[in-house]
């Protein structure tokens, strides 16, 4: 079992806490917060709403057809940790080791010019539509701004891919060709709207 102590803690969002992998600092381990609201539900419903399970399933459903993982994090499977079952994924890091900001934080701080931000969002849009990837929880909060070198940045999605909840709707979004395409387009539009609302 891997011990996750506070020195490895990175950050947390609505449902999960993220820790640096104690044996591989190029990966992070995501664990569901012990006091999270999904535990109110019966087991089956917990699983349908569990972001780790959703991430794991969606990654496995696309990994045989997607070859470029520059804009999303790969998923490596489950590990037992001191904080419960964890999901191992790629860690997003800046070239200089500085703290990685979410895209939302970076926009709020006006770190980049508006043109640059839109160029990065365009690149991400091309990636999602080109690879037919569903970004179900398409917000600037689920994207990190990665510094590749002094001048270059990339937006990397770390959460919200595939579905918000597993079930019939999710199955249809994934398997019915036309609906899949429409959903992807709607999600991209939602992401741009979220961006414009904070800029
Ligand atoms: N792959 C990653 N690499 C680096 N930091 C990450 C990664 N995934 C998440 N984080 C950090 O943890 C925070 C919460 O992660 P997230 O997956 O969005 O959790 P939640 O499912 O609770 O919303 C992010 O805002 C980010 O700061
Ligand atoms: Mg999140």
The predicted-structure confidence for 24-35, as pLDDT tens digits, reads as follows 999 999 999 998
| pLDDT of amino acid 14 | 87
- Cβ atoms of 125 and 186 within 8 Å: the answer is no
**3 state DSSP class of 161:** strand
CB-ligand 1 contact for 72 (6 Å cutoff): no
CA distance 148 to 198: 24
Q: Which residues of the chain have pLDDT under 70?
A: none
Closest-approaching ligand to the CA atom of 87: 1
Q: What is the pTM of this model?
A: 0.97
Domain segments of the chain as ranges: 6-198
| pLDDT of amino acid 44 | 96
Helix%, strand%, coil% for the chain, nearest 5:
40, 25, 35
| pLDDT of amino acid 60 | 98
Look at strands 101-102 and 84-90 and give their pairing.
Answer: unpaired
| pLDDT of amino acid 191 | 98
- Cβ atoms of 29 and 84 within 8 Å: the answer is no
- The CA angle 142-199-116, to the nearest 5 degrees, is 80
- The CA angle 84-138-122, to the nearest 5 degrees, is 130
> Could you identify the atom of ligand 1 that is nearest to the CA of residue 33?
22
CB-ligand 1 contact for 161 (6 Å cutoff): no
């Amino acid at each position: 079992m891997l011990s996750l102590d506070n020195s490895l803690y990175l950050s947390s969002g609505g449902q999960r806490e993220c820790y640096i992998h104690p044996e591989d600092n190029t990966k992070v381990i995501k664990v569901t917060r012990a006091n999270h609201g999904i535990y109110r539900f019966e087991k089956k419903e917990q699983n349908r709403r569990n972001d780790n399970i959703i991430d794991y399933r969606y990654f496995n459903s696309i990994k045989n057809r997607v070859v470029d993982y520059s804009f999303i994090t790969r998923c490596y499977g489950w590990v037992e940790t001191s904080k419960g079952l964890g999901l191992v994924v790629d860690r997003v890091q800046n070239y200089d080791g500085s703290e990685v900001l979410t895209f939302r934080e970076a926009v709020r701080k006006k770190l980049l010019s508006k043109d640059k931000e839109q160029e990065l969002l365009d690149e991400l849009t091309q990636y999602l539509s080109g690879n037919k990837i569903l970004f179900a929880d398409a917000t600037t909060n689920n994207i990190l701004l990665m510094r590749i070198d002094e001048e270059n940045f990339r937006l990397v999605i770390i959460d919200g891919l595939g579905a918000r909840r597993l079930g019939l709707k999710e199955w249809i979004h994934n398997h019915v060709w036309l609906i899949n395409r429409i959903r992807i387009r709607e999600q991209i539009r939602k992401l741009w709207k979220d961006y414009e609302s904070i800029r």
